[in-house]
């Protein structure tokens, strides 16, 4: 039995291009919405951002997106 990693990689390689690019665009939209929520959380009084977790989530999603693209190629 193959490990979960190889099953996942084979799944990503075997899905159709339409599904892969749809997944890619949805993840990109999630990343952009995280950045927007980060910039909307700026507090003028304290001169700092309230929701830094949005930035962390965006960075994690960027890493996943790059990984999926790397696996697909």
- pLDDT tens string 37-60: 888 887 777 777 777 888 888 889
- Answer yes or no: is pLDDT of 1 > 70: no
The Cα–Cα gap between 1 and 62 comes to: 31
Tens-place pLDDT, residues 7-39 = 888 888 888 889 988 988 999 999 999 888 888
The mean pLDDT of 68-73, rounded to a whole number, is 83
As given in the structure block, the two tokens for residue 41 are 């959380």
- How much is the pLDDT for 25? 92
User: Taking the alpha carbons of 39, 43, 49, 53 in that order, is the dihedral positive or negative?
Assistant: negative
Q: Is the pTM above the cut of 0.75? A: no
């Amino acid at each position: 039995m193959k490990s979960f990693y190889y099953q996942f990689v084979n799944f990503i390689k075997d899905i159709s291009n339409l599904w892969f690019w749809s997944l890619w665009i949805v993840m990109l939209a999630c990343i952009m919405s995280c950045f927007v929520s980060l910039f909307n959380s700026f507090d003028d009084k304290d001169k700092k951002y309230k929701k830094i977790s949005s930035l962390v989530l965006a960075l994690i999603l960027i890493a996943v997106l790059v990984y999926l693209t790397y696996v697909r190629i």
